[in-house]
Amino acid sequence: MALTAALGDRLRLDEPLANHTTSRLGGPADIWLPVSHVDKLVEVVTLARQHQVPIFMLGGGANILITDGGLRGLVIENRTRRIDLQPPQPGSAQRSLIADSGVVLPNLARRCAREGLSGFEWAVGVPGTVGGAVVNNAGAYGRDMAATLVRAELLSPDGERVWQPVAWLKYDYRTSSLKWQAHLEWVVLRAELQFTSAAPEAIEARMTGFNERRKSSQPPGATMGSMFKNPPGDYAGRLIEAAGLKGYRVGQAQISTVHANFFHNLGGATSTEMIELIEIAQQVVEDKFNVRLELEIEVVGESAKPTP
Ligand SMILES: Cc1cc2nc3c(=O)[nH]c(=O)nc-3n(C[C@H](O)[C@H](O)[C@H](O)COP(=O)(O)OP(=O)(O)OC[C@H]3O[C@@H](n4cnc5c(N)ncnc54)[C@H](O)[C@@H]3O)c2cc1C
């Protein structure tokens, strides 16, 4: 194919995406390509669009369940990692930086701490990239991207690079105008994030506190984080546990025995098993409590049902 020849020698054909997701689940990508520079990302997306090959942007693979059928077309793994601190503005207590969309959140949180930039401590234990966090409005401990992002640079469906202000993203709980893009039209390239100045030691101490809270409440292992959104006034984990499903298994997919909103790949699970487990949890909770749990993660790939 002319496209594969143009993409260079880092690409792999039929790459198992289970190697690129936190759940260790996911069938093959027709074409998989890691990209390390924003200009290259723009070039690759433009090229794929010219060849009418579908693209999928993969960040850390921390919030998606890719079906066993995998993804058709080109999967671009975002490894862009540049961080540019912006000079302080006279008279302003705010500081900002511009991060590539492939920057890994915990790495960015630690860099902010070293620079004395406060406001991103919550991200120290959140896996994934800035791009995924912009799309999902990732957050923790009462803060989120909506409170941190000033503007995002996007590649538009027409191939233009445009900076959009945070309001454009229409943020809500773990969602944005960019989530559930049936065909990836907007690609997040970079993000400007805003912080206040603080002593690095104080920032480090807050991050240590968040890490400890996470360790005591969340099970380790191959998961996608929280499976369902918390329904208004309740917790998905509480409902699943009250429905008697803690520890319930389909094959090698298991609802955590520690936190019922975490679903594990115990090793060798299939996405089909995981999807069956999701559907059982939704059905049993609905039958018992008349609450329909909505997915927080995104199911993507061949034969995926419409989400959420
Ligand atoms: C153990 C664990 C704990 C977690 N804890 C939290 C938590 O506390 N808070 C929280 O909010 N989340 C949490 N999550 C979920 C996850 O970390 C976040 O949703 C994160 O933002 C996902 O980023 P990602 O780069 O992995 O996105 P991916 O899963 O790779 O992608 C998610 C979606 O974003 C799209 N996307 C990714 N990058 C781009 C881009 N550059 N341009 C356009 N679209 C893009 C993808 O196509 C996909 O549709 C947790 C996950 C795990 C595994």
Supply the CATH number for residue 66's domain. 3.30.43.10
In whole angstroms, give the CA distance from residue 280 to residue 273.
11
Tell me the average pLDDT across 176-197: 89
Q: How far does the centroid of ligand 1 lie from the alpha carbon of residue 205, in Å?
A: 25
The active-site residue, picked from 153, 174, 190, 192, is 174
* 48 close to 74: Cβ distance less than 8 angstroms: yes
Q: Is residue 128 part of a domain?
A: yes
User: Are residues 283 and 269 part of one domain?
Assistant: yes
User: Is residue 228 included in any domain, yes or no?
Assistant: no
Asked which of 49, 78, 107 is the last residue of a domain, the reply is 78
Q: Do 87 and 210 share a domain, yes or no?
A: yes
Helix axes 200-217, 105-115, angle to 10 degrees: 150
Note down the domain range covering 243. Answer: 236-300
- CATH number of the domain to which 121 belongs: 3.30.465.10
In this structure, is residue 244 part of a structural domain? Answer: yes
177 in active site: no
Higher pLDDT, 29 or 303: 29
Residues 180 and 131 both lie in one domain:
yes
Asked if residue 62 belongs to a domain, the reply is yes
Verify that 101 and 205 share a domain, yes or no: yes
Residues 119, 203 within the same domain: yes
Catalytic residue among 23, 96, 176, 226: 226
* Residue 9, pLDDT above cutoff 90: no
Tell me, yes or no, whether 256 lies in a domain. Answer: yes
User: What is the C-alpha separation between 132 and 191, in angstroms, rounded?
Assistant: 11
* Cα angle 102-105-107, degrees, rounded to a multiple of 5: 95
Q: Smallest Cα–Cα separation from 308: which of 271, 279, 274?
A: 279
Pair (57, 26) in one structural domain: yes
DSSP codes of every residue in 45-71: HHHHHHTT--EEEESSS-SEEE-TT-E
Element (DSSP H or E) covering residue 39: helix 38-50
- Give yes or no for residue 214 having a pLDDT over 90: yes
Q: Which of 135, 143, 164, 215 to mutate to test the pocket of ligand 1 (most atoms within 8 A of CB)?
A: 135
Tens of pLDDT, residue by residue over 32-44, are 999 999 999 999 9
Residue 28 has pLDDT above 60, yes or no: yes
* pLDDT-based confidence at residue 89 (cuts at 50, 70, 90): confident
Average the pLDDT over 111-122 and give the result.
96
Q: Which strand (E) or helix (H) includes residue 249?
A: strand 249-250
What pTM value is reported for the model? Answer: 0.95
What does the mean pLDDT of the chain come to? 94
Residue with tokens 């991060």: 99
- CA-CA distance, 73 to 64, in Å (whole number)? 17
What's the rounded Cα separation, in Å, for the pair 182 and 174? 17
Lowest mean pLDDT among 166-180, 188-202, 246-260, 275-289: 166-180
Is the same domain home to 271 and 188?
Answer: no
Non-local (6+) Cβ contacts of 88 within 8 A are 95
The residue among 69 and 302 whose pLDDT is bigger is 69
Beta carbon of 301 within 6 Å of any ligand 1 atom: no
Please classify residue 64 by burial: count the beta carbons closer than 10 Å to its beta carbon, then call 0-12 exposed, 13-18 middle and 19+ buried. buried
Instruction: Say if residue 88 is in the same domain as residue 193.
Output: yes
Which pLDDT band, with edges at 50, 70 and 90, does 182 fall under?
low
DSSP code string of 150-172 = EEEEEE-TTS-EEEEEGGGG--B
Q: What phi and psi, each to the nearest 5 degrees, are found at residue 296?
A: -90, -35
Q: Does residue 123 sit in the same domain as residue 106?
A: yes
Same domain, 201 and 154: yes
Residues 211, 142 share a domain? yes
- Quote the CA–CA distance of 174 and 192 in Å, as a whole number: 19
Q: Which tokens in the block code for residue 223?
A: 């998961």
* Domain edge (last residue) among 22, 45, 78: 78
State the CATH number of the domain containing residue 252.
3.90.78.10
Q: Does residue 174 have an active-site annotation?
A: yes
Q: How many domains does the chain have?
A: 3
Does 136 sit in the ligand 1 pocket, CB within 6 Å? yes
On whether residue 224 sits in a domain, the answer given is: no
Which of 150, 184, 217 is the endpoint of a domain?
A: 217
Is the same domain home to 244 and 128? no
